[in-house]
C-alpha cells in the first residue's frame, strides 16, 4: 500500500444504539484503503458486526456518516442498490445468507435483482462460481452443502455483484485447519484480482499474518489503525481490549533476547517466516555444550508445532543476522 492510498470506504464519527439504549458504536472513525487487505480485530461485543452493517447500508447511524468512494452514503432505494454494488457483505454464518433452492439460484439472486438480462446474470454467476472453485456445485441444493462449501457459496453470491470491497465477518469461523487454509487461498485470489478485502476477526495470528492494515476495535470505536507490525505490538493496548499479541511476536522476542536472532529489516509474520529465519541463523540442531533457552509456557505448543524441541546455541556463538529482502523472503549475512 502506498503512502497516498485512495480511501474507498470511510466511517466518520459513527454513533449507534440498539433498542434499550445499548451503545454499539461510539464515535467510530475508520478508513479502508483501496486494494488493501484490512483486518478489524476485537473481542466479542466490540461492535465489529454492527460496524459492518453500517458499511453496507443495512443500518443507519444515529449520527456521523459513511462515505463510499469519497461521497456521502445515499440511503434511498436507488442509492442502496448502487452502494451494494460497491460493497459486498458476507455474514459469519452462511446459513444467514443462503435461502434459494440451489447454489446457482442463490448466487444469481443479486444480479437478477439488479435488473440484468439473463445472459449477463448467467455470466456473472459462472464467473463467481469459478472464482470460488465451486462450479461443480451449481445445481446442488444449498441444504446439502458442507459448512465450507456454504462459506464459498455465500461469498460467490456477494462476488456476483462485482463489488469493489468485500467485507467478511469472521472468515475462518467454523472451518477445520484444511478448510481454513483453502479459504485463505480464496481470499488471496480475490485480493490478487483487485478486490479490497475487509475482515473482522479475533484471531490475532490470522490478522498479523494476512493483513496489510489492522484496526483495533473496542467499546464501539477504533483505538488504533495501521500496519500490523506496529499496531499489534502494543501488549498493554491489546490486553485492555481482551486481546493478546500474536504468538509469533512473543516467540520472536524470546529468540532475540536469547541472542539467537537479530531482526533488522522487518518482523516475522508467520510460521514459515520463523522457520526460514531460524534456518538462516543456523539454529535448530543442538550442539555439544549448547545451553537451553527456556520457552515460555504459553509458547510451548507453538514451538512444538514448528518442530523444535528447545532452542539452543553454544556459549559465545554469534548469531547470524537476518532481514527481509525485496521479495519478502528472509535473507541472512
How do residues 27-81 score in pLDDT, each as one tens digit? 999 999 999 999 999 998 899 999 999 999 999 999 999 999 999 999 999 999 8
**pLDDT > 60? residue 2:** no
Name the pLDDT band for 83 (thresholds 50, 70, 90): very high
Q: Region 109-124: what's the mean pLDDT?
A: 87
pLDDT above 70 covers what percent of the chain?
76
**pLDDT > 90? residue 198:** yes
Tens-place pLDDT, residues 266-316: 567 767 776 666 666 655 444 444 444 444 455 555 555 555 444 444 444
Superfamily designation of domain 7-240 = P-loop containing nucleotide triphosphate hydrolases (3.40.50.300)
Q: What is the pLDDT of residue 37?
A: 95
Q: Region 107-113: what's the mean pLDDT?
A: 88
User: Is 248 strand, coil or helix?
Assistant: helix
What average pLDDT does the chain have? Answer: 80
Q: What is the pLDDT of residue 158?
A: 87
Q: What is the pLDDT of residue 41?
A: 94
CA distances from 285 to 179, 277, 282, 314 (A): 33, 14, 8, 11
* CA quadruple 82, 164, 108, 92: dihedral sign: negative
Q: What is the pLDDT of residue 179?
A: 76
Q: Region 247-257: what's the mean pLDDT?
A: 78
Helices (H), ranges, 258-299:
271-280
**pLDDT > 50? residue 105:** yes
Q: What are phi and psi of 306, to 5 degrees?
A: -85, -5
Entry field: residues in the chain = 333
Tens-place pLDDT, residues 168-193: 998 888 777 877 887 788 888 888 88
Helices (H), ranges, the chain:
48-55, 77-86, 103-113, 118-131, 147-159, 177-192, 204-210, 228-231, 235-240, 247-257, 271-280, 300-305
CA separation for the pair 206, 39 (Å, rounded): 9
Phi-psi region of 220 (alpha: psi -120 to 50; beta: other; left: phi over 0): left
Comma-separated ranges of CATH 3.40.50.300 domains in the chain: 7-240
Q: What is the pLDDT of residue 183?
A: 79
pTM, two decimals, is 0.77
CA distances from 245 to 271, 272, 290, 299 (A): 15, 18, 30, 12
**pLDDT > 70? residue 142:** yes
Amino acid at each position: 500500500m502506498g503512502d497516498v492510498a485512495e480511501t474507498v470506504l470511510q466511517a466518520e464519527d459513527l454513533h449507534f444504539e440498539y433498542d434499550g439504549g445499548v451503545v454499539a458504536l461510539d464515535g467510530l472513525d475508520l478508513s479502508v484503503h483501496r486494494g488493501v487487505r484490512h483486518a478489524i480485530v476485537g473481542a466479542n461485543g466490540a461492535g465489529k458486526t454492527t460496524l459492518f452493517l453500517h458499511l453496507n447500508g443495512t443500518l443507519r447511524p444515529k449520527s456521523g456518516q459513511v462515505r463510499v468512494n469519497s461521497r456521502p452514503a445515499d440511503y434511498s432505494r436507488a442509492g442502496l442498490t448502487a452502494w451494494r454494488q460497491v460493497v459486498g457483505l458476507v455474514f459469519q454464518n452462511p446459513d444467514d445468507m443462503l435461502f434459494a433452492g440451489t447454489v446457482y439460484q442463490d448466487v444469481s439472486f443479486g444480479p437478477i435483482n439488479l435488473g440484468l438480462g439473463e445472459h449477463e446474470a448467467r455470466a456473472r454467476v459462472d464467473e463467481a462460481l469459478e472464482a470460488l472453485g465451486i462450479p461443480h456445485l451449481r445445481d446442488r441444493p444449498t441444504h446439502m452443502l458442507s459448512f465450507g462449501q456454504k462459506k464459498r457459496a455465500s461469498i460467490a453470491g456477494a462476488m456476483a455483484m462485482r463489488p469493489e470491497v468485500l467485507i467478511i465477518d469472521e472468515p475462518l469461523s467454523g472451518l477445520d485447519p484444511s478448510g481454513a487454509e483453502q479459504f485463505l487461498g480464496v481470499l488471496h485470489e480475490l485480493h490478487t484480482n483487485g478486490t479490497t478485502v475487509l475482515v473482522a476477526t479475533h484471531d490475532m495470528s490470522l490478522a498479523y499474518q494476512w493483513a496489510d492494515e489492522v484496526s483495533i476495535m473496542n467499546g464501539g470505536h477504533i483505538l488504533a489503525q495501521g500496519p500490523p507490525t506496529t499496531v499489534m505490538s502494543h501488549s498493554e493496548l491489546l490486553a485492555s481490549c481482551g486481546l493478546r499479541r500474536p504468538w509469533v511476536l512473543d516467540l520472536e522476542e524470546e529468540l532475540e533476547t536469547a541472542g539467537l536472532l537479530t531482526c533488522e529489516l522487518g518482523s516475522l509474520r508467520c510460521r514459515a517466516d520463523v522457520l526460514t529465519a531460524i534456518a538462516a541463523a543456523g539454529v535448530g540442531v543442538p550442539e555439544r555444550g549448547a545451553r537451553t533457552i527456556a520457552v515460555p509456557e504459553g509458547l510451548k505448543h507453538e514451538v512444538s508445532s514448528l518442530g523444535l524441541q528447545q532452542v539452543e546455541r553454544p556459549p559465545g556463538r554469534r548469531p547470524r543476522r537476518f532481514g527481509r529482502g525485496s521479495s519478502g523472503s528472509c535473507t541472512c549475512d
